[in-house]
A = this chain, B = another copy of it.
Amino acid sequence: MYFGSDNAAAACPEVIEAVLAANTGVQGAYDGDTLTQRLDGVFSDFFGRECRVFVVGSGTAANCLGLAAMVPPWGAIVCSREAHIQVDEAGAPAFFSGGASLVLAEATAARLTVEGVRAAVAWMRGDVHQVQPAALSITQATEYGCVYTPGEVAALGDEAKRRGWRLHLDGARFANALVHLGCAPGDITWRAGVDVMSFGFIKNGGMSAEAIVVFDPALAQTLPHRKKRAGQMPSKGRYAAAQLLAMIETGAWARNARAANEAASRIGAAAGDRLLHPVQANEVFVRASPEDSAALRAKGFEFYDWAAGEIRLVTAWDTPEAHVQALAAALAVL
């Protein structure tokens, strides 16, 4: 019974069917296929605003190409200490941007606040001797499975704009946040000041394609060149585009995210006061002693230890109901 990572789940049927359906006949190479060419339109409809979409092969590529389009090599990106770009991308922000730094802000449940951002840059003088903050990056849902409300995003967007920074959104679990909030996609993106986002599909039932969505057309200009020279322009673009179109057009994005969120909610409820953060997406962080962890593992559950005395339980679009029930029961009797 696996609760280790949503990256370990299979792809959902709509994605598989779309890949199969794309596998007929000749299609223009690179972005010359008819599927890739539909992406801008489909995502513009989804977000309620004209946007540009660039398909890439990983969340790291999505985040760091997007950031590179915003931040000069001597720039800095403000993010939470727990941000994926800081903890789990092996220096990719500097690689893609040509050297930009991260400035780490303290956050609760990896959810930044305007105050946290201000404190993080309070030491900076803005002169030429220092790196120059040029973007704020937030993760939605956060690395601790928490969700920024539209107002919270907008407050950060205002702060960024006031300082002349761009706002970047790592949406590896954007769909989970969106179904949790029930708002319009634009409410937590462009209307709230987001300039560029990574729209994650792989964790949510995709196979191998993620999207960079660019709301400010000026920021889209360098991305075709950046993508190509980073080896992120697939030669048979149809298979990647097909996955994204299927997720959006069939509504699988929402159904999958809802399923994962509901499973997580039930696990969170069972965890009771062991719960470390509110469950607002598909991750559950639970206080657990080594003995607790061992007991759960002995019952057949797989998951990651997090900080000392904490475990992380992640659900996916296809986590079996029986596994959720079993885990909930096991947590209840810990």
The residues of A with any CB-CB pair to B shorter than 8 Å are 2, 4-5, 7-11, 16, 19-20, 23-30, 32, 56-62, 64-65, 72-76, 87-92, 94-96, 98-102, 104, 123, 128-132, 202-203, 207-208, 222, 224-236, 239-240
Nearest opposing residue in chain B for A75, CB measure: B91
Oligomeric state, in number of copies?
Answer: 4
Output the least CB separation between A128 and chain B (Å). 5
Instruction: Determine whether the beta carbon of B239 is less than 8 Å from that of A207.
Output: yes
Query: A65 contacts which chain B residues (CB < 8 A)?
Result: 231
Instruction: Determine whether the beta carbon of B29 is less than 8 Å from that of A132.
Output: no
Q: 27 A–B contact pairs at CB < 8 A?
A: A4-B28, A5-B29, A7-B30, A7-B235, A8-B26, A10-B26, A57-B57, A57-B234, A58-B232, A59-B231, A60-B233, A64-B231, A72-B225, A73-B95, A73-B98, A73-B229, A74-B91, A74-B225, A90-B129, A91-B101, A92-B228, A94-B100, A95-B99, A96-B231, A99-B229, A128-B233, A231-B232
Most buried by B among A26, A224, A229: A229
Taking A58-B231, A58-B233 as known contacts, 9 extra A-B pairs with beta carbons closer than 8 A to each other, sorted by chain A number, are A8-B29, A11-B23, A58-B234, A90-B228, A90-B229, A91-B101, A92-B230, A94-B94, A230-B231
Query: A128 contacts which chain B residues (CB < 8 A)?
Result: 90, 224-225, 227-228, 233
Given contacts A11-B23, A99-B94, A208-B208, contact A88 B129 (CB under 8 A): yes
Going nearest first, the 4 A-B pairs with the smallest beta carbon separation are A61-B231, A7-B29, A94-B99, A60-B231
Instruction: Determine whether the beta carbon of B98 is less than 8 Å from that of A98.
Output: yes
Query: A64 contacts which chain B residues (CB < 8 A)?
Result: 231
Instruction: Determine whether the beta carbon of A74 is less than 8 Å from that of B231.
Output: no
Given contacts A91-B229, A230-B230, contact A203 B235 (CB under 8 A): yes
Nearest opposing residue in chain B for A316, CB measure: B26
Query: A101 contacts which chain B residues (CB < 8 A)?
Result: 91, 94, 101-102
Query: A222 contacts which chain B residues (CB < 8 A)?
Result: 72
Nearest opposing residue in chain B for A5, CB measure: B29
A113 to B329 Cα, complex, angstroms: 46
A231 to B230 Cα, complex, angstroms: 9
Instruction: Determine whether the beta carbon of B208 is less than 8 Å from that of A90.
Output: no
Output the least CB separation between A217 and chain B (Å). 17
Nearest opposing residue in chain B for A31, CB measure: B128
A102 to B2 Cα, complex, angstroms: 35
> A234: which of B20, B26, B208 is its contact (CB, 8 Å)?
B208
Query: A32 contacts which chain B residues (CB < 8 A)?
Result: 8
A106 to B23 Cα, complex, angstroms: 39
Nearest opposing residue in chain B for A172, CB measure: B235
A7 to B89 Cα, complex, angstroms: 30
Instruction: Determine whether the beta carbon of A130 is less than 8 Å from that of B95.
Output: no
Instruction: Determine whether the beta carbon of B231 is less than 8 Å from that of A56.
Output: yes
A48 to B137 Cα, complex, angstroms: 46
Nearest opposing residue in chain B for A10, CB measure: B23
Instruction: Determine whether the beta carbon of A229 is less than 8 Å from that of B89.
Output: yes
Given contacts A74-B225, A91-B74, A202-B235, contact A10 B24 (CB under 8 A): yes
